[in-house]
A and B are shown apart, each in its own frame.
Chain A
Amino acid sequence: MTAPLAVLGTAISAAGAIVLAFLGAFETRVTLTPTGTIPVTIGLRADDLSTMVAVMVTLVALAIQVYSVGYMKHDVRYPAFAALVGLFTLAMLTVVLAADLLMLYVGWEIMGVCSYFLIGHHWEKPHATAAAIKSFLMTRFGDVGFLFGIFVLGVAAGSFRITDVIAAVPAMTSGTVLTGALLLLVGVVGKAAQFPLHSWLPDAMAGPAPVSALIHAATMVAAGAYVVALLYPVFLSAPLALDVLAVVAVISMIGAALAALVTDDLKRVLAYSTISQLSVMFAALAVGGRTQAIAHLLSHAAFKALLFLCSGAVIIAVGSNLMTRMGGLRRRMPLSFLTMTVGFAALAGIPPTAGFFSKDAVVASAEHHWFVFVALLLTVGLTAAYTTRAWLRTFFGSGPDVREAPKLMTVPLVLLAVVALLLGFAGLWFDELRPELLSAVLSVVLAGVGVAAVYLVWRRDPAKDPVDSLGRLRGVFGSAFGTDTLYERTIARGVMRVADEVVRVDDSVVGRTVRGTGRGTRSLGGLLRRAQNGNAQFYVTALLAGVVVIAVGVVILR
């Protein structure tokens, strides 16, 4: 009963989002309880950007719900899973369609807690709970900044309504805008898993594959890019914030691509690639390419959802995440092979897939900004390289004898593959998204170099991992340049020390006060208990004495 309900609910919301997309821009709102100062409103705000993203979110969520019915067939906790995926989708829609920044923040936080529950879906496994806690803490760390960014902008604008805030940006002092933009960026970096808050995302692979698809394609990490695009005027009037965003994006895209190149876990490869692809969106935003960033967001949603769902099909068939256990799946899982090839091609930016068009638009938008441009081109080459490696190691060579996934899982795969293949052509309607010759040729050549390099290394010995030749660098890349260890040695240790101290103070000061209050009350009660001797005459005497005292007191003090 759960499965039809979950699918039907998501389908209805998808239909609603599509209707919304045809309605045109509008905004509704009701003022929540009067706050005395800045009013908090609840409202729906639909424009081209938000309805497009809403359609994307609901359609990907629908594909994931259908797929999950097959994927989670033997899981006793499927109902809870389906409900949480639904809540997650709802929270993302809240972020996308909110008319008020505080309402947006509500959706933002619900996503955080849903990701915590979903990543920790297999809570009997310690690494899943550890990953859930890690993602929760790291994104929450960023959310503190995000919330304060909202406060700064809302107080400066005198309203939390998004349209009001954007309208008020020109009147704000540059310091206010910069503070607000940088604080928002902290939250965006956390949710979108950019450097230096990137390390929760690869660990989040402990959740089931549909969850990864949801988090990576449609919801949580995309919310960061969406919010920057939504509040773009704020960032445009704070150029320093855009520069910071550019630096963060460049570090994240190259670092994550290098990490993806050497990782052996198929889902972790995709996770690192998500970090890298999100950085591509942020790079576009940093150089002024808002449309390009959104185009890449949409096409990335299609092909990344496809890739994760395919990897789920492969993993469930093979029974392992590790690519060393895979190989040769081309003949045994032809449909998964075909769809995942489309996904990989889109990720690598091979024409004519959606990934090619959107990534090329991003590269073209960065032409005047050499720093980002070079980083983007480098990333294009690296992306093609790690994509080829994953593709070759999963589907070619020799491997286990497995069967194709059930139909319920392959249908969403085929549909997503069609979208990933054709979505790019929709971009031809927009001026900003048409491929430019220089960037298109450059990125295709670089992607080809990446593919060819890995292929040549692989062909020498198909049984071996092509990145074995990297030697010691492999370990460095694989640990994402040791950031986790660094955090553990510095931040985690410091926090632990502070926490120990807090526990000690809590016990010695707070606890002792509480226990002392109890003990004091008891001893005071013991004193009073002596008066209760069971002699009725004594009680009456005390009563009379009391009456006399009160009467005298009243007379004297009147």
Chain B
Amino acid sequence: MHVVYPAVLAALLFSIGVYGVLARRNAILVLMSVELMLNAVNLNLVAFDVWLADKLGSGQILTLFVIVIAAAEVGLGLAIVLQVFRNRSTISIDALDELAEDKQ
């Protein structure tokens, strides 16, 4: 299999992830989009590892790292989202603009 197929797929996944992060209002969906981006990266790592026939398998090892980090991130992220919901009863990212400059 040519490396271009997984690369294109990864690019598509990444773009969908970016779109999700930028466009979605729901914080959980934003987190999921981030996961999509991370998985696109994973796909790239594995594909290029095979393509370059790396003897150390560093691409695959990095993938494992990313999966662990992603799991931890989702755990924390969901906890934060839960707290935000409890405090403000909304998880719409639009509504969370306390850091905005005062309207003049």
Contacts and interface: CB of A to CB of B under 8 A. Distances in A.
Interface stretch (B43-51, B62-70, B77-85, B95-103): B95-103
Contact of A529 (B93, B94, B99, B101): B101
B1 interface: no
B53 interface: no
A490 interface: no
B22 A536 contact: no
A544 B97 contact: no
Contacts of A544: 18, 22
B40 interface: no
A544 B100 CA distance: 20
B23 to A, nearest CB: 8
Contact of A537 (B93, B98, B99, B104): B93
A469 interface: no
B22 A534 contact: no
Contacts of A529: 101, 104
Interface string A529-558: 100111111001100100000000000000
Nearest to B22: A541
A526 B98 CA distance: 19
Contact of B97 (A526, A533, A540, A541): A533
B22 A535 contact: no
Interface residues of A, number: 11
A532 B22 contact: no
Contacts of A541: 22
Contacts of B22: 537, 540-541, 544
A535 B21 contact: no
A529 B103 CA distance: 10
B18 A535 contact: no
Given A540-B21, A541-B22, A544-B18, A534 B93 contact: no
B98 to A, nearest CB: 6
Interface string B16-56: 00100111000000100000000000000000000000000
B99 A534 contact: yes
Contacts of A536: 93, 96
Nearest to A543: B22
B100 A533 contact: yes
Nearest to B25: A537
Given A541-B22, A544-B18, A544-B22, A535 B94 contact: yes
A544 B15 CA distance: 12
B98 A534 contact: yes
Contacts of B21: 537, 540
B95 to A, nearest CB: 10
Interface in A174-190: none
A534 B100 contact: yes
A555 B21 CA distance: 26
A529 B101 CA distance: 7
A533 B96 CA distance: 10
Nearest to A539: B99
Q: In this complex, which of A532, A537, A541, A544 has the most chain B Cβ atoms within 10 angstroms of its Cβ?
A: A537
Given A541-B22, A544-B22, A535 B101 contact: no
A404 B29 CA distance: 103
A532 B101 contact: yes
Contacts of B97: 533-535
Contacts of B96: 534, 536
A416 to B, nearest CB: 77
A532 B93 contact: no
Nearest to A528: B101
B28 to A, nearest CB: 14
B93 A535 contact: yes
A215 to B, nearest CB: 63
A532 B18 contact: no
A541 B23 CA distance: 9
Interface in A117-172: none
A534 B93 CA distance: 10
Contacts of B98: 534
A252 B21 CA distance: 92
Contacts of B93: 535-537
Interface of A: 526, 529, 532-537, 540-541, 544
Given A534-B96, A537-B94, 19 more contacts: A529-B104, A532-B101, A533-B101, A534-B97, A534-B98, A534-B99, A534-B100, A534-B101, A535-B93, A535-B97, A535-B100, A536-B93, A537-B21, A537-B23, A537-B30, A540-B21, A540-B22, A541-B22, A544-B18
5 contacts: A529-B101, A532-B101, A535-B100, A537-B23, A541-B22
Closest CB pairs A-B (n = 9) = A534-B100, A534-B97, A532-B101, A534-B99, A529-B101, A533-B100, A541-B22, A535-B97, A537-B93
